[in-house]
Amino acid sequence: MVIQIIGGLILGPSFLGRIAGFTAIVYPFNGLVILDTLAVFGYMIYFFLIGVQMDPWILTKIEKKDVIIGISTVSLAMVLSLSGAFILLSGGFPVESQIASSLPAVATSSSVLAFPIIAHYLTELKMVNCEFGRMALASSLISNLFGFCIITIVVVTKQTGGEMFKSMQTFVGGLGFAVLLIFIVRPVILWALRRNPAGEPLKQGLIFVVLVGVLVTGFCSKAVGLNIFFGPLLYGITIPAGPPLGSAMMEKLDLVTSWLFMPLYFVKNGLVTDVFSVKLRNYLIVQCVILLACIGKFLGAMFSSIYNKVPLREAVQIGLVVNVQGALELGMFKLMKQNQAIHEDAFVVMCISMLIVTATVTPIIRYLYDPLRRHIVHKRRTIMDLKPDSELRVLACIDDQESVPTFVNLIKSLHPTKRSPIDICLVHLVELVGRAHPILIAHKLNRVDSRNSFTSRSIVNAFKNLQRSYHGIVTLQPFTSISPYSTMHEGVCEMAIDRRVSLIITSFHRRLARPGMVESSGGGIKIMNDKILVMAPCTVAIVVDRAPVRATMESHPLCHVAVFFIGGADDLEALAIGARMVAQTNVNLTIIRVLANTTNAALEGSDETRFDNDVLNEFRSQMAGNQRFMYLEEEVGDGTGTIAVIRSIENHYELILVGRYHDTRSPLMLGLSAWGDDSELGAIGDMFALADSNSSSTVVVVQQNNDWKHNTNDNRFNASTSIREGPSVPLRQSAV
């Protein structure tokens, strides 16, 4: 937005338009008329999409602190700005009459917030899922409702010349129009959606009728005396948010609106704005009132957030975010100018201030925002550190119904018992389309929620059946998380922290249906997985799902599990998971340890290698005499030999566990880093997941949570003393 308006200013009378004949040649009158028509049409579509993304039901989930922050933000901003305007008008300052009459409207309009603009802004900055982002959204919605009522009164009063009868006529007309949309148009749309078969794309005729409705509602709102954007906005709110209709509208219109219509609208406003036409005195007076409004919003949001026990850093971020402005405010300024609520000079100053404030707060917010700091935990949460009589808490992240059988079988293999039950936090991940804000839906286990999608219900029902089959040993808490892929990891990590999870299970973004055939879940899941691996507060397991393994694991009484062991913290965590599995009588566990036939003094004498040997020897001694346990060693010279071992075991096991990270200084890893392109799996995991592999094994790539996190500089093992401090007892006792 900022760049587009600046582009319009450069092409307009502020700069290039001052050249004689430039405007007449580049922008003749007929061209401006066409540009204005397209801009107005695009603005109507833009407000319609804003309405589509707004979910009225979010008001039922607003907390008390959000109401306090929202009202405090607008109230303090109005008090400061109106007080400043009053002082300027009554303090003997030489203020022109036209500017003087504009100051109250300037103060009022500069004090309000636009929820859709803040939602779009936070989404672009990938902060919509963080705690301060959610609070900023909720409080801005309250501020938006509070401020919108005030602005509507100001505009309508100016538009009707202050005549009470005309004002009431306009309000009654708008109220009747809203009633018509809510109680007649919305039920008709819902009826049409119910007639559409579940899972089938919407009929093009329905989409066309909905689009025509945008033009009709714009005309009707203008006919009753309201601005042309009011009808499309309210019409969009009546459209059910999310799939199928809300997401379909976004897919059809969002691209052309964001990249064509709205840039035209911003450029067109810049073309007709002359920043040099404003007198310096008028600029300073109006800017002073706007500055007071910005300070009021900042202080109101910050202090009310601190009052509600929000950390200072996040309170400052909320105070900065509420000062962001965009297309909605620009349209409001223009509307007020057209209805003579503000003078042309005041309009220009407000536009300039909007550009300056938005461009200034963005880098400050980016500097203050530290996503890693929010996911720091003070206690290691790994399978190795889990006490033998403790509950295993698992966060299962499912993006596709196809993954459900493999996830269910994997959780079954973790051996839930009365002594060590399993608590499953199930999250169905859905991409945010057709909504302005992310949403977390908690499913009720004892009833069916009609608002949930068919896919979510199917996934939840599969895990309900798993819970019932274990008679209280397995507990389930299902959710559906709807958010952008770019910030989905934050919701996952925060849920893992809140629920004290020890293991996050998520899917690999490529699914291998059969050898050589790849089904992709899209790049969004890969982005999410990469960020979860960096920020996760616990162990992460990425499941490389191969469809044939489901039937194998379900039909065979014995499940053959292998742990591919090279060494390091991640391989030890994979071993801990395997040790838990082998406690079941229907699981055969094989540890395949790959050793170098060449010596490396730096690695052989390291604390990590000694610790690996100690843990393996201790585990083998505990497994002595167990016919379902086997330990194999393979000596190789380099990475080529490691690949040969991988290929030799691919079809011998239903499930293969492998650590994600391995020290690249080892001869066993020589040359492997150049083979794969999926950093989320690591070099070894990537070899198992290659599309041209003939393997039918499901692979689980494990990353242990470490206090130092997983670096990319290959030197993280200098902190191996932290591993030594972690107890190895759970390995022994889980294997009993």
The total number of structural domains that make up the chain:
2
- What stretches of 676-716 adopt beta strand conformation (E)? 698-703
For residue 380, being part of any structural domain is answered with: no
Query: Maximum distance among all alpha carbons in the chain?
Result: 98
CATH number of domain containing 492 = 3.40.50.12370
- Both 414 and 357 in one domain: the answer is no
Is residue 669 over pLDDT 60?
yes
As a whole number of Å, the end-to-end CA separation of the chain is 63
Helix (H) or strand (E) holding 510: strand 510-514
SS3 (DSSP) at 341: coil
pLDDT (tens digit per residue) in 14-48: 777 777 776 677 767 677 788 888 888 888 898 88
Compute the C-alpha angle 635/669/630, nearest 5°: 40
- Inform me whether the pLDDT recorded for 691 exceeds 60: no
Together in a domain, 359 and 397: no
Average pLDDT over residues 433-451: 65
Whether residue 327 is contained in a domain is answered as: yes
pLDDT, average across residues 575-603: 83
| 621 within domain boundaries | yes
Tens of pLDDT, residues 251-278: 888 888 888 888 888 877 777 778 888 8
In contact, 137 and 437? CB cutoff 8 Å: yes
More confident residue, 540 or 230: 540
Q: Is 372 exposed, middle or buried (0-12, 13-18, 19+ CB in 10 A)?
A: exposed
Are 648 and 691 in contact by the 8 Å Cβ rule? The answer is no
Q: Does residue 384 fall inside a structural domain?
A: no
**DSSP characters for 589-611?**
EEEEEEEESS--HHHHTSHHHHH
Domain boundary among 301, 335, 370: 370
Expressed in percent and rounded to 5, the helix, strand and coil fractions of the chain are: 60, 10, 30
Confirm if 237 and 182 have CB atoms less than 8 A apart.
no
Cα 698–Cα 699–Cα 702 angle in degrees, nearest 5: 145
Residue 348 counted as domain residue: yes
Confidence tier at 591 by pLDDT (50, 70, 90): very high
**Per-residue pLDDT band at 723 (split at 50, 70, 90):** very low
Dihedral sign from CA coordinates of 258, 260, 266, 267 = positive
**Residue that terminates a domain, selected from 370, 405, 437:** 370
Is 107 within a domain? Answer: yes
Handedness of CA 176, 181, 183, 184 (dihedral sign): positive
What is the Cα–Cα distance from 428 to 426, expressed in whole angstroms? 7
Q: Based on the fold, state whether residues 507 and 645 are members of the same structural domain.
A: yes
| CA angle, 549 then 553 then 556, to 5° | 125
Q: Are residues 409 and 546 in the same domain?
A: yes
The verdict on residue 378 lying in a domain is no
Q: For strand 539-544 and strand 629-636, is the pairing parallel, antiparallel, or unpaired?
A: unpaired
Q: Across 282-342, where does the E strand assignment appear?
A: none
Q: How far apart are CA 532 and CA 220, in angstroms?
A: 49
What are the tens digits of pLDDT across the range 454-487? Answer: 668 888 999 999 999 988 899 999 998 888 888 8
Do residues 302 and 296 touch, judged by C-beta distance below 8 A?
no
Q: Are residues 480 and 617 in the same domain?
A: yes
Find residue 427's DSSP bridge partners: 397, 479
pTM, two decimals, is: 0.69
* C-alpha separations of 432 from 53, 482, 494 in Å: 10, 5, 18
CA 152 to the chain's CA centroid: 33
Which among 542, 529, 508, 404 has a CA at the least distance from the CA of 463? 404
Same domain, 93 and 211: yes
Q: State the residue for tokens 């920043």.
A: 275
Pairing of strands 539-544, 503-507: parallel
Q: Among 196-200, 204-208, 658-662, whose mean pLDDT is lowest?
A: 196-200
Same domain, 354 and 423: no
Do the beta carbons of residue 436 and residue 242 sit within 8 Å?
no
Whether the Cβ atoms of residue 433 and residue 243 lie closer than 8 Å to each other: yes
Q: Do 495 and 643 reside in the same domain of the chain?
A: yes
Which of 339, 370, 401 represents a domain boundary (last residue)? 370
At residue 432's C-alpha, the angle toward residues 192 and 197, to 5°, is 25
Structural domain of 449 = 392-734
294 and 397, same domain (yes or no): no
- Over residues 367-382, mean pLDDT: 67
| Amino acid, single-letter form, for residue 449 | D
Q: How confident is the model at residue 59 (pLDDT cuts 50, 70, 90)?
A: low
User: How far is the CA of 222 from the CAs of 150, 186, 262, in angstroms?
Assistant: 20, 21, 21
3-state secondary structure labels for all residues of 253-281: HHHHHHHHHHHHHHHHHHHCCCHHHCCHH
Could you tell me which residue, 556 or 669, shows the higher pLDDT?
669
Q: Can you give the CATH number for the domain in which 229 is found?
A: 1.20.1530.20
CA 85 from centroid of its chain's CA atoms:
40
- Whether 660 and 566 map to the same domain: the answer is yes
Strand order of the sheet with strand 439-442? 439-442, 474-483, 422-431, 392-398, 503-507, 539-544, 698-703, 655-659, 559-565, 587-596, 629-636
Q: Are 680 and 722 in contact (CB under 8 A)?
A: no
Convert the pLDDT of each residue in 499-554 to its tens digit: 889 999 999 887 665 555 555 656 788 889 998 998 888 999 999 887 544 444 45
726 pLDDT higher than 50: no
Q: Are strands 539-544 and 698-703 parallel, antiparallel or unpaired?
A: antiparallel
Residue 377: inside a domain, yes or no? no
Does 322 share its domain with 398?
no
282 plus 399 within the same structural domain = no
